[in-house]
Structure 1
Amino acid sequence: MRLRFLGTDSQVGQCPTLYATDRDTYVVQGWKVTDPEALADLRDVLDGETFVEIPKALLRFAANDEPEEDR
């Protein structure tokens, strides 16, 4: 899998950050969710899955996710 940086709401070298993948998905760099109440609300968690928290405003960078040939 390859990642392409889309944007960040942070200072250099910090999270949260949004990336597009070459598999038509997104990867987010954010704050690890460790709150027991929040984790208890999650459903159908598979082995190998994890959860990160990001601000809603970060998703505005998803609009930058255009195929290279469309730029």
Structure 2
Amino acid sequence: MKVTMLATTCDKKDCPTVYQTDRGTILVQGETPTDHGLNIPAHETLVEIPMDLIRKAFGDQPGA
């Protein structure tokens, strides 16, 4: 799989980041929340990233 970084919150490798793949999918790197109260299947996971990162990755301007 080829992965291209779309946006990140810093220059380090351990920050929330959004990636695009050559499979037509998006990968996200972020914190793993534990206090969500959801029933997530064992083969899936949740990651929490800042909304500002989504706006940066996809060009969504606040208030637009």
Normalised-by-shorter TM-score class? 0.7 to 0.9
Give the number of aligned pairs.
58
More helix per residue: 1
Q: Does 1:51 align with 2:42?
A: no
Query: 1:21 and 1:62 mapped to 2: Cα distance?
Result: 14
Query: 1:32 and 1:55 mapped to 2: Cα distance?
Result: 13
* Unmatched segments (≥5 aa) in structure 2: 60-64
TM-score under structure 1 length normalisation: 0.66
Deviation >3 Å, runs of 4+: none
* Unmatched segments (≥5 aa) in structure 1: 64-71
- Name which one, 1 or 2, has greater alpha-carbon Rg: 1
Deviations 1:14-60 (A, max 9, x none): 2101100112111010001111xx1x2x36x3331011000001112
Q: Which residue in 1 is equivalent to 2:13? A: 13
* C-alpha RMSD of matched pairs (Å): 1.7
| Paired amino acid for 1:51 | L
